[in-house]
Chain A
Amino acid sequence: MRFLRIILGLKEWSNRKQTMQQGAQAPSGQDFLAPDLQTNEQVLRSQYANCADVVFRDIAIAGSTKALLLYIEGLSNTVEIDQSVLAMLMEKGLVSSDVKTLLQQKVAVSNIKEVTTFTETIQHVSVGNPILLIDGQNRGLALGLSKWEKRSIEEPTAEAVIRGPREGFTESIGVNTSLLRRKIRSPKLKMQSMTVGTYTQTRIMIAYIEGLADDTVLQEVMNRLERIDIDGVLESGYIEEMIEDYPFSPFPQILNTERPDVAASGLLEGRVVILVDGTPFALVAPVTLYSMLQSAEDYYQRFLIGSTIRWLRYLFFLIALLMPSIYVAILTFHQEMIPTTLLLSIAKSREEIPFPALVEAILMEVSFEALREAGVRLPKQVGAAVSIVGALVIGEAATSAGLVSAPMVMVVALTGIASFTIPRYATGIAIRMIRFPVMFLAGTLGLLGIMLGLIVIIIHLCTIRSFGVPYLSPMGPMKARDMKDVLLRAPWWSLNTRPHLIGDNNPYRQSRGNKPDSNKGSE
């Protein structure tokens, strides 16, 4: 127990806080900028000692007033600095009147912010805003001229659609917020900024629509984010694990998406979106199990197609979870359920198999998982080839060698395909994980074991919540109104209300009577 606690880091470290904060940020002593340029420069130079990428540029405004320009190479737009700042300020004939009016008239930069402390200065420098410090002034100017190399907007690879927008989030948070803003133009779309990570100083944006998002949920998200005390955040997964409700549950309680349209639809339903700088994966909360089983495309195709595909997905969700277990249980305990001819052919193929069905199933499932994982990790060029060849060789050779029966290969293949129909990777993984204990139950107690396993899963799903919203709502607790988006994908003209418990602030999406009718308006 103690060992476990140490591994999970639950054991209290007495000196943890000290070691964490050591030298992370903020110079000690006086944090405010001094009126004297020399002191300021000294402090900043000592902060950025041994940082070869930081540029200190001494300039003289209008040939007399001394000033210092500070920026990090590669993070700032040097062309702009040269043209709109340096060239302007160093102009020969400049009358050196009041510095403030000078800056107002001469610096051709739209986004300028005043900084008064060293902490602020360093923050601005580290995101790429050049800092201009002027002698005799106890404040500096942060010029909004950051610019760095970034990936262009591409099609999201993890969530492909046939019909729907092709743009995906990128690693740059500025681009991501603009993608959201381009979808939801109303000023009601709010974005609150936050910085997490003592060393990485990662920017986080909490986006929500005012009047739609539940205030308590929003407050809870904020509180949990503020509680995070970590040295660095490199992916939104860090944040996800820090703020989820049930950390030991196999089911993800926060949705991650690469698609701005998915994030925007979440916002419109009253959910909160968390964007993290440095990753294209945005977090959406609160969510339910059903949102994990929905694809963006369900809403873009016509509703009959959407509903059918949704039903297919539910079916394959169950197959992914239960298929090998049911096969094992029926072969081991309930042979009478198989029609005689089928039973005979299965028996024939299993004649030479030395293992019981359970061992056979686990053998195949594990090797399938290995192939899948290898296929993901391998470089693109070899990945597909290896996984196909691997599957063929293992499947074919294992059958002809008499290690596994052909029906089992089929069952495992079908299960694998089924697990890929789940649009959310994390949910698919959860299902694959749970499959193994259910298989053991099936091998020991037959269908009864599967039932007990299913009941335990349902109990667990009934227990967990995502930011206060029950994970299985609107099924348990039942809300008949919301079934329109769970049991089927109701046509857009009848999706009149937002989900209960999430969009209760403003439950109506649209007016009724949107149903198209060729006679409408002709009278």
Chain B
Amino acid sequence: MIEKGKISALQMAMLTNPTILATAILSAPAITAKLAEHDMWLSPVWASLAGIAAVYLAWGLNKLYPAESIIDISVRIAGRAAGKLLGFVYLFFYLHVNGIIVREYGEFVVGSFLTKTPLGIVIASIVAVSAFAVYGGVEVLGRCAQIMVPVVVLLFIVIIILLFPDLNPENMLPFMEKGIKSSFMGALVPQGWFSEYFVMTFLLPLVADRAKAPKWGVISAMSVMFILVIGNITTLMLFGDITGTLTYPVLIAARYISLADFFEHVESIVMAIWVTGMFIKISVFYYILALGTAQWLKLSDFRPLVLPLGLCLASFGVWAAPNSEKLLHDLGTTIPFYLSAVQVVIPLLLLLIALLKQKLRRQNGG
């Protein structure tokens, strides 16, 4: 095994939770609001089905080959040439997606807070911090997640509670104005994020208490769904119809917080919390990229790859989109399908082929 560390199923859940949530919470309310309008809070529920599907796809493939990730599994199922090619597709996919994530982070920070700081610096700093964590291996990532995620979730809930005085429940009406279809449409974008649960394929071989893994995977997806629903309900009650026109509704919501004329303008705190989640997300993708590359090249250690891949990652972050408008447009249109195509459709096909092969073999053998 390239990675000698082990994590618990709980740690895996805590790693995957911000892996989905960090980017989703920021732009999900706006994007779903455009399509689902008043039923936007329902959309994450439908979208989470993709997450659960991804969890079970990863688990199904892992049950067949417990010690391997998709990189080796694809070779087993599709044969050497096609499998390696598929492995490369996955690696490139994760490099590209992580580049997009890094860019999202950079655009958000530069656009909302450090307007005069060059994008490159912002991107490079988070990649460097993530590289430090990735270098420590999966155990360090798991522990970091265990320390950070509870704090992040707690602070998020505190912020929601602080918004209570400004909420207007009437904004949620009318319920199901255009039937159930619009909330389904709103789920099309978030399902792409939820499909990222497929990263579990890299983590499952490292989980010590394997039996609990699917349970915790689903709990993790449910918790993401729950937080997204809360986030959507809050922004909907706060902004009503204009939610869809805002870029980062949760951030703007934080501006409404005012406590005793002292605790005001806490957007920076929201950003600080969000950076923590983003760090875990980028690190997880970065880690599976490094680990996957080492598996693909059959190296004995992934650590020498961390630095070169970090350079690639920062460059991909810069190349991901020409500007923030294009990035946001892509995020709302093509990228979700790109995500679920690679992380749900291909694994599903692989799993079907594997099960079919198994059945044929059994028939031939028996």
> A: which residues have CB within 8 A of B?
333-334, 336-337, 339, 445-452, 455-456, 458-460, 462-463, 470, 472, 475-478
Contacts and interface: CB of A to CB of B under 8 A. Distances in A.
Nearest to A476: B143
A62 to B, nearest CB: 71
A455 B268 contact: no
A458 B268 contact: no
Contact of A337 (B117, B140, B264): B264
A476 B146 contact: yes
A455 B125 CA distance: 12
B146 A452 contact: no
Contact of A459 (B114, B129, B272): B129
Contacts, number: 85
Contacts of A337: 264-266, 268
B170 interface: no
Interface string B252-271: 00000000011011101101
Given A337-B268, A339-B261, A451-B276, A477 B142 contact: yes
Contacts of B117: 445
Contacts of B269: 447
Interface string B268-298: 1101100110010000000000000000000
Given A336-B265, A445-B125, A462 B136 contact: yes
B132 interface: yes
Interface in B46-71: none
Contacts of B309: none
Q: Which 3 A-B pairs have the closest CB atoms?
A: A476-B143, A462-B143, A476-B146
B146 A456 contact: no
B353 interface: no
Nearest to B266: A337
Interface in B141-187: 142-144, 146-148
A463 B113 CA distance: 31
B42 interface: no
Contacts of A459: 129, 132-133, 136, 140, 144
Interface of B: 8, 10-11, 109, 113-114, 117, 122, 125-126, 129, 132-133, 136, 139-140, 142-144, 146-148, 261-262, 264-266, 268-269, 271-272, 275-276, 279
Contacts of A447: 113, 268-269, 271-272
B89 to A, nearest CB: 31
B140 A477 contact: no
Contacts of B132: 456, 459-460
Contacts of B114: 333, 445-446, 448
B264 A477 contact: no
Contacts of A450: 272
Given A333-B113, A337-B265, A448-B114, A455 B143 contact: no
A451 B147 contact: no
A452 B125 CA distance: 8
A478 B7 CA distance: 11
B252 to A, nearest CB: 14
Given A452-B275, A456-B132, A470 B143 contact: yes
Contacts of A334: 265, 268
B146 A446 contact: no
Contacts of B262: 339
A477 B276 contact: no
Nearest to A329: B268
B145 to A, nearest CB: 8
Contacts of B275: 448, 451-452, 455
Given A448-B271, A452-B129, A458 B113 contact: no
12 contacts: A445-B117, A446-B268, A447-B113, A451-B275, A456-B132, A459-B133, A460-B132, A462-B144, A475-B143, A475-B146, A476-B144, A477-B11
A357 to B, nearest CB: 16
Contacts of A462: 136, 139-140, 143-144, 147
Contacts of A333: 113-114
Contacts of B11: 477-478
A455 B114 CA distance: 19
Residue from the set A333, A449, A459 with the largest chain B CB neighbour count within 10 Å: A459
B8 A477 contact: yes
Contacts of A451: 272, 275-276
B301 to A, nearest CB: 16
B276 to A, nearest CB: 7
B146 A455 contact: no
A448 B109 CA distance: 8
Given A333-B113, A337-B266, A455-B129, A475 B147 contact: yes
Contact of B146 (A448, A460, A477): A477
Given A462-B140, A463-B140, A476 B265 contact: no
A448 B266 CA distance: 13
Q: Which of B109, B142, B143, B148 has the most C-beta atoms of chain A within 10 angstroms of its own C-beta?
A: B143
A449 B275 CA distance: 10
